[in-house]
């Protein structure tokens, strides 16, 4: 009976290792799926919000900064390198936008729209 226990222990350790590796893969897939859903949602919400704020530069600036912060959080949790890099890049782009007056607001809407389209395309590629 003692001989049976010594054979069972390596088998049990192997099975535990396979299970742990499998759980890691599942968590990675969940993280990627969550990031693939969350990132475009943040950009869509930002686009809708800033289109309403063209007459309020300070509120637009805050909305852009808030979206950048949310994207930084998504990037921090993204397990896919391409997705993480694209999200970090978009967050940096948003952070660099400063809205001080009505002219800046018009420029910001244009820049966010252009950059968002490119970003969503990168996310779609990373998530497929």
pLDDT digits (tens, 9 = 90+) for 56-89: 999 999 999 999 999 999 988 887 888 889 999 9
Neighbours of 23 (CB within 10 A): 10
Question: What's the confidence (pLDDT) of residue 104?
Answer: 93
pLDDT digits (tens, 9 = 90+) for 106-119: 999 999 999 999 99
pLDDT above 70 (res 9): no
Give 12's pLDDT tier (boundaries 50, 70, 90). Answer: very low
Domains of the chain, start order: 2-127 (1.20.120)
Per cent of the chain over pLDDT 90 is: 56
Six-digit token pair at 83? 């997705």
Q: Which of 72, 74, 59, 71 is nearest to 109 (CA)?
A: 59
DSSP structural state of residue 54: T
- Return d(Cα 89, Cα 99) in angstroms, integer: 19
The CA distances from residue 97 to 2, 68, 125, in Å, are 70, 10, 25
């Amino acid at each position: 009976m003692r001989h049976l226990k010594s054979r069972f222990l390596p088998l049990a350790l192997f099975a535990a290792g396979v299970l742990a590796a499998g759980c890691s893969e599942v968590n990675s897939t969940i993280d990627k799926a969550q990031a693939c859903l969350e990132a475009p949602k943040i950009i869509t919400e930002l686009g809708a919000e800033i289109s309403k704020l063209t007459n309020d530069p300070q509120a637009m600036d805050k909305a852009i900064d808030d979206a950048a912060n949310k994207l930084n959080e998504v990037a921090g949790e993204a397990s896919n390198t391409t997705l993480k890099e694209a999200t970090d890049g978009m967050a940096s782009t948003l952070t660099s936008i400063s809205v001080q007056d009505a002219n800046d607001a018009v420029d910001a809407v244009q820049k966010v729209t252009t950059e968002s389209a490119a970003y969503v395309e990168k996310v779609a590629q990373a998530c497929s």
